Structure 1
Amino acid sequence: MSSTNPVIEFFQDLPEELSNVSLRKVKGATGRRVVMIFKQLQALERFNSFTKQFSNSMRLVDEEGEITIEPDSVQFRFTGPEGDELDRVEVQFDIDSEDHWDRFMRFMHRYAEANGMAYGETER
């Protein structure tokens, strides 16, 4: 497959900008939990949900191809004096297979490199 910039999409051909990502071990399980945080969503700001094809999933696209993820949870967090300003959107999903985890991490490394993101440990 040809080289392409990695993108994250909720709606086809409408790339979103990832603000942060958290990778966690799931207690008592072999899987891992991913929490992706978006400070804004192009789909909401442009009201594209009415004009673009929604796949009920999130697409991660890079030079290896496409990863389709059906999130376990999508939470909209609001702030502001009236509680109506979008603060962030949190998307959570679990990855149980080691092969799927490896593929996801290859995507994340490409996405981070293309978008000036860096890995860092959080303090406990």
Structure 2
Amino acid sequence: MTLPTIEFFEGIPEDLSGVSLRRDRTTGAQFVVMTFEQLKSIERFQSFTNRFNKALCLTDEEGRIEIEPDSIKFIFGGDEGDELKRVECRFELVREEHWARFMRFMNRYAEANGMEYQGKETNREN
């Protein structure tokens, strides 16, 4: 069995801090936002010698998924504003079979890393 991994650069598995699944109410488009509080490969993003291949690689027992993110945001804070707080990686999954495959990966990743699903709580007043 293959341990599920998430990589920006081959050979450097990252630790996912959280994931948000979203659907646009008007278009029905499905989006994923993955959040990383730390990146093991941060030096690679800053290096000119190692080029980011523009794909986020998700690997599990079914194989490898390569996703080209719509955006990768580096959020900084701290006293000097230079402390990495988190990285947000956003992408859209258009086809239903891609969404289903991604969800199978996430279920395996969550199980292997002690993560659990937390639904969005809505507060509706009548």
Q: Give the whole-Å Cα distance in 1 for the aligned partners of 2:101 and 2:56.
A: 15
Deviations 1:65-105 (A, max 9, x none): 00000000100111111111000000000111100000000
Is 1:106 aligned with 2:104?
yes
Is residue 41 from structure 1 mapped to residue 34 from structure 2 by the alignment? Answer: no
SS at match of 1:113: helix
In the other structure, the counterpart of 1:61 is: 59
Q: Does 1:21 align with 2:15?
A: no
Structure having the higher strand fraction is 1
The ranges of structure 1 where at least 4 consecutive aligned residues each deviate by more than 3 angstroms after the TM superposition are 48-54
Residue 56 of structure 1 and its aligned partner are, at CA, apart by 1.4
Question: Is there any run of 5+ residues in structure 2 with no aligned partner, and where?
Answer: none
User: Matched residues in 2 for 1:52 and 1:114: separation?
Assistant: 29
Output the CA distance in 2 between the equivalents of 1:68 and 1:58: 6
Identical pairs, percent: 53
Per-residue deviation, 1:52: 5.5
Deviation at 1:48, TM superposition (A): 3.7
Amino acid at match of 2:116: A
Count of aligned residue pairs for this structure pair: 120
Offset of 1:123 from its aligned partner? 3.0
The CA distance in 1 between the partners of 2:14 and 2:51, in whole Å, is 15
